[in-house]
Chains A and B, each alone.
Chain A
Amino acid sequence: QVQLVESGGGVVQPGRSLRLSCAASGFNFRTYGMHWIRQAPGKGLEWVAVIWFDGTNKYYADSVKGRFTISRDNYKNTLYLQMNSVRAEDTAVYYCARKLAVRGNNWFDPWGQGTLVTVSS
């Protein structure tokens, strides 16, 4: 079955870096765009970034632009999120999700279980 498994979360000091991974299985990973979405403690969902199936296009939320980088390895069926210069407000559960679209409408399905990132000194 289609499965996404995130890893790489943990406690990181403000200003430092962390790389998240999302291992995909059960579908042809190289033909789908992928997203990162996060949820801060007690808050709602916030879209973070998207990458095209071939890595040619990438878009970011204003809150992470210039600090986070989304990438993928289609040989390893893995999605990444490189988080640099992290801030306390980046503390959240980070989810990866597959990009689906029909006639301009885009949605996220499925999602992984998430990995928790805590930014704290």
Chain B
Amino acid sequence: DIQMTQSPSSLSASVGARVTITCRASQDISNYLNWYQHKPGKAPKLLIYAASSLQIGVPSRFSGSGSGTDFTLTISSLQPEDFATYYCQQSYSAPRMYTFGQGTKLEIK
């Protein structure tokens, strides 16, 4: 099974800061990697698909990069509404398995 490991598990940052979250796959998954934002009590929201494609309606301060086993989600200038938990998700093993990273909780400093 493909394992997804995010780092850090939690992160404290200030409004306006640049933040990078890393996701590592246990094997090559090409660009079959997606990123989600999740706030408590809300539906998770797709941010990035296919490693670097910005979902329609998502602010351009969000960007994704990477291929193979190493991927990053970058927020260029944190806004108050960005404080949430972020998950990566692989679909290389679809349709039999879809795996999420353990999540990165982004908190206000």
Contacts and interface: CB of A to CB of B under 8 A. Distances in A.
Nearest to B29: A105
A105 B31 contact: yes
B17 interface: no
Given A59-B95, A105-B34, A105-B50, A111 B43 contact: yes
A57 B87 CA distance: 27
Question: A interface, how many residues as a size bin?
Answer: 20 to 34
A105 B43 contact: no
Nearest to A33: B95
Nearest to B4: A44
B97 A112 contact: no
A30 to B, nearest CB: 19
Interface residues of B, number: 29
B42 interface: yes
Interface in B88-109: 89, 91, 94-103
Interface stretch (A9-17, A45-53, A68-76, A79-87): A45-53
Contacts of A100: 49
Interface in B31-75: 31-34, 36, 38, 41-46, 49-50, 55
Nearest to B35: A107
Interface of A: 4, 35, 44-47, 50, 57, 59, 61, 95, 97, 100-114
Contacts of B46: 107-110
Given A109-B55, A113-B42, A113-B43, A102 B91 contact: no
